[in-house]
Structure 1
Amino acid sequence: MYLVDQIQREGEKYNVELAFVWNRTTKNMEKGVKQHLQLHNLEEVKERRADLIVEVAHPSIVRTHGEHFLSAAHLLVGSPTALADEDTERRLRGRAKMCGHTLYIPSGALWGGEDIMRMADRETLSGLKVTMTKHPESFKLEGDLSKRDLSVIRERTVLYEGPVRQLCPMAPNNVNTMAAAAMAAHTLGFDKVIGVLVADPSLPDWHLVDIEVTGSAHEKTAQVFSVRTRRSNPAAPGAVTGAATFGSFWSSILVCRGHGGRVFFC
């Protein structure tokens, strides 16, 4: 409900107002959302005449309703792990182009995303690796990774290292930063951007995001451009999302004023 509260508190200052709020659990809207703003059927979004739909629910909502959302408004995908599914990415890119609405990808905890996208646009990006380190209690894992008993981890442990596409379905709530990176690095995509997921019990209230960018070799000297950054994001014990990421989402929303029928990183 962070974004709902933020819009109600500061929306007027930025000419932003709520068109509707939907939640998988209806009772979660009862205290903070007025009755006339509550939406109970996502098939009715067009009737609310929103300019921007912000999804911060679950990747399954993007897969199921993303095209319908883009037919009605611009769409900010807060669960970009949904786009690791090739069919979903293809359908949403196509719908954005067809309807002239923008498919927005928020930077979230990804530092330097716009720079990565610019390198991809110039075809000078040759490698990207994103390492996310969190306390074992901060993970919500599915698939093969859910078989790991995280409660017995006593030291820094690598849970996964490999293409981001395979990781997204196993940690859909934890690796949105990696998915955003794969979308920004569009010449590499989900298959060539490497994700590393690390559980570290010595970090009870921090989320670390390490980004390693590799450029193409200089044609004369063979020297290779590279950048390494670390984002240390304060987080409540056991939290899936770090504290600074919420503010980043609010900043992303203020950028979403319409950028044509394409994907736009914000």
Structure 2
Amino acid sequence: MGKRRIGVVGYGHLGQYLVQQVLANDNLELAFVWNRTASALDGHVDKQYILQELDTFHEREADLIVEVAHPCITRDYGERFLKHADYMIGSPTAMADVDIERKLRAAANQNGLYVPSGALWGGEDIRRMADRGTLQALKVTMKKPPQSLKLNEPLKSKNDAVKDTAEVLYDGPVRELCPLAPNNVNTMAAAAVAAHNLGFDNVQGSIISDPRLTEWHVVQVDVWGPGNIADDTAFHCQTVRRNPAKIGAVTGSATYASFLSSMIGAHGKGPGVHLC
């Protein structure tokens, strides 16, 4: 088999990391790199790899297209990407839009739509429980310092008002949260995809702005299975992940390696929506 050709959409910190890793991997080949601000690529990416117009992506014949830019890329190009290649959606918050989710699932009838697990610990276990119908409830709680949260209103104003103590900015369905925090809650979106029997409306998400967190992002995942949740006799698994992160960083450093592993594993599963 030849090398897998990877197209990268977005050249922020994560995009730069992925491009470097693709070029260093003997089993991968860089098909293209596109960035909204093309000048950011000058002097950093060989001209042969730079894609000037995203509308011409199909000419590069990528096997896998990886989005690490913004949810609007999936809104505008997701269906088209899936007609020509497998697609790994780095901003799965886009799928919180009911129409976009429906169109993507329908478009994934020839190639695979891959959703990276990111900072979601136990994603495959959650998916297996959803497959069996034993997953009753799921909640993802994210704690980050105020400077690491890029939010839309009304959450932005609430976060700006945080001073010395931790504040809960949101607690409710993930579907409603995603458009308010599209850069911060991809882990929650991945959880909603894994928990397909619950979906975006029934998976719960909570964002806590905590100025005391100077070295970490914290992701807590609570899963409830068989039994009675009301009287606390149901199966319950709680995991807490501390991800090293500098103040102001949207993504923790450990997530980069996790995303790379997802990208390498995003192939061979055929049509449909897959957690990777």
> Does structure 1 residue 84 correspond to structure 2 residue 96?
yes
Which residue of structure 2 lines up, in the alignment, with residue 48 of structure 1? 60
Which residue of structure 1 lines up, in the alignment, with residue 210 of structure 2? 200
Moved more, 251-260 or 129-138: 251-260
* Separation of aligned partners in 2, 1:150 and 1:110: 27
Matches within 5 A, 1:226-245: 226-245=236-255
TM-aligned CA deviation for residue 8 of structure 1: 1.4
Which residue of structure 2 lines up, in the alignment, with residue 139 of structure 1? 149
1:125 aligned partner, one-letter code: L
> Does structure 1 residue 22 correspond to structure 2 residue 34?
yes
Which residue of structure 1 lines up, in the alignment, with residue 185 of structure 2? 175
* Separation of aligned partners in 1, 2:161 and 2:171: 20
Matches within 5 A, 1:1-266: 1-9=16-24, 11-12=25-26, 15-97=27-109, 100-150=110-160, 152-217=162-227, 223-266=233-276
Q: Using a 3 Å threshold, how does the CA distance of structure 1 residues 61 and 152 change in structure 2: closer, same or farther?
A: same
Q: Structure 2 stretches of 5 or more lacking a match?
A: 1-15
* Separation of aligned partners in 2, 1:91 and 1:179: 17
Q: Using a 3 Å threshold, how does the CA distance of structure 1 residues 133 and 68 change in structure 2: closer, same or farther?
A: same
- SS at structure 1 position matched to 2:30: coil
TM-aligned CA deviation for residue 151 of structure 1: 5.4
- SS at structure 2 position matched to 1:187: coil
- SS at structure 1 position matched to 2:248: coil
TM-aligned CA deviation for residue 260 of structure 1: 1.2
2:159–2:169 contact (8 Å) kept in structure 1: no
Q: For residues 108-146 of structure 1, give each alpha carbon's deviation from its aligned partner in whole angstroms, at most 9, with x where no partner exists.
A: 000000000000000000000000000000000013212
Q: Using a 3 Å threshold, how does the CA distance of structure 1 residues 28 and 115 change in structure 2: closer, same or farther?
A: same
Q: Using a 3 Å threshold, how does the CA distance of structure 1 residues 149 and 198 change in structure 2: closer, same or farther?
A: closer
Q: Structure 1 stretches of 5 or more lacking a match?
A: none
1:247 aligned partner, one-letter code: A
TM-score by length of 2: 0.91
TM-score by length of 1: 0.94
1:136–1:151 contact (8 Å) kept in structure 2: no
1:46 aligned partner, one-letter code: H
Which residue of structure 1 lines up, in the alignment, with residue 3 of structure 2? none
Moved more, 86-95 or 255-264: 255-264
2:245–2:252 contact (8 Å) kept in structure 1: yes
TM-aligned CA deviation for residue 237 of structure 1: 1.1
Q: For residues 88-109 of structure 1, give each alpha carbon's deviation from its aligned partner in whole angstroms, at most 9, with x where no partner exists.
A: 0110110011xx1000000100
**Aligned residues with identical type, % of pairs:** 55
* Separation of aligned partners in 2, 1:149 and 1:258: 42
